[in-house]
């Protein structure tokens, strides 16, 4: 069964520092996507970055990058040069196997707090 | 609109009342998902539509929960005879095709409080 583990309930970092948010997953699928979402206190879920299981290069999107280690089933999110606006809850997610469309299973999330 | 739109943003109801939550997905998106998010937790899948067809409702917690998408665009999640445990944020998401490599785009959610 699909499972997502985020072991860091909270992370604290100062502005301009880099931070790594951990995510490990378990899936029986050979082909899948791995997604990261940001949820500020206002509640909206914002898509950040995606990694396909067959992508050989780690995904990058602006200040966000994925440290994807398929053999270890690990997909850590790296945020470079943290900003105050990065303070939020971060969720890692992987698709559930489904008939056609694929719903996501989410980890419990990591709360990131950025201070000045 | 440009993104997924959900209404109302907040809903307060008394236990036993029926509620209806609306989701307007991104135009042209085939797939639509509903999730329930308890406080401090990640979202949990409720149901999935491809166009007007409800292909998976395995996550609906009871037969009091009902969802529809009659014309393949706007969707409504209805909860009958609400209970206090139904209090949560209900998130709607859409994606272009629903495939494993497609990101889902979420609305702001409806925060439901049952008194």
Q: Please tell me what DSSP assigns to residue A1.
A: -
Q: Mind listing the pLDDT tens digit for each residue in B11-25?
A: 999 999 999 999 999
A chain contacts of residue B99, beta-carbon cutoff 8 Å: 101-102
Residue B102, pLDDT above cutoff 90? no
Residues of chain B with pLDDT > 90: what percent?
88
Structure tokens at B62: 């009871």
Instruction: Report the C-alpha gap between A9 and A111 in whole angstroms.
Output: 6
Q: Do A43 and B105 touch (CB under 8 A)?
A: no
Distance from the Cα of B72 to chain A's closest Cα (Å) equals: 14
Burial of B91 (0-12, 13-18, 19+ CB in 10 A): buried
Q: Mind listing the pLDDT tens digit for each residue in A57-76?
A: 999 999 999 999 999 999 99
How much is the pLDDT for A98? 59
Instruction: Report the C-alpha gap between A73 and A56 in whole angstroms.
Output: 14
How much is the pLDDT for A100? 52
Q: What is the secondary structure of B13-44 as a DSSP string?
A: E-TT--EEEEEE--TT--EEEEEEE-TTS--E
Residue among B43, B98, B103 whose CB faces A106 most closely: B43
């Amino acid at each position: 069964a699909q499972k997502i583990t985020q072991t860091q309930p909270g992370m604290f970092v100062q502005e301009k520092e880099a931070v790594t948010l951990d995510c490990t997953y378990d899936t029986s699928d050979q082909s899948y996507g791995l997604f990261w979402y940001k949820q500020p206190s206002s509640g909206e879920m914002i898509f950040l970055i995606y990694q396909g299981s067959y992508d050989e290069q780690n995904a990058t999107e602006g200040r966000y990058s994925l440290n994807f280690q398929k053999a270890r089933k690990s997909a850590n999110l790296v945020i470079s040069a943290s900003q105050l606006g990065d303070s939020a809850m971060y969720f890692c997610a992987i698709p559930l196997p489904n008939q056609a469309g694929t719903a996501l299973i989410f980890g419990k999330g990591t709360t990131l707090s950025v201070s000045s | 609109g440009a993104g997924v739109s959900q209404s109302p943003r907040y809903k307060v109801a008394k236990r036993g009342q029926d509620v209806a939550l609306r989701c307007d997905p991104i135009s042209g998106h085939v797939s639509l998902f509903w999730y329930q998010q308890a406080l401090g937790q990640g979202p949990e899948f409720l149901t999935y539509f491809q166009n007007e067809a409800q292909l998976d409702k395995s996550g609906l917690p009871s037969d009091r929960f009902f969802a529809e998408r009659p014309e393949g665009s706007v969707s409504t999640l209805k909860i009958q005879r609400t209970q206090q445990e139904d209090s949560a944020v209900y998130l709607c998401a859409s994606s272009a095709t629903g495939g494993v490599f497609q990101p889902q785009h979420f609305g702001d959610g409806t925060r439901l409080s049952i008194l």
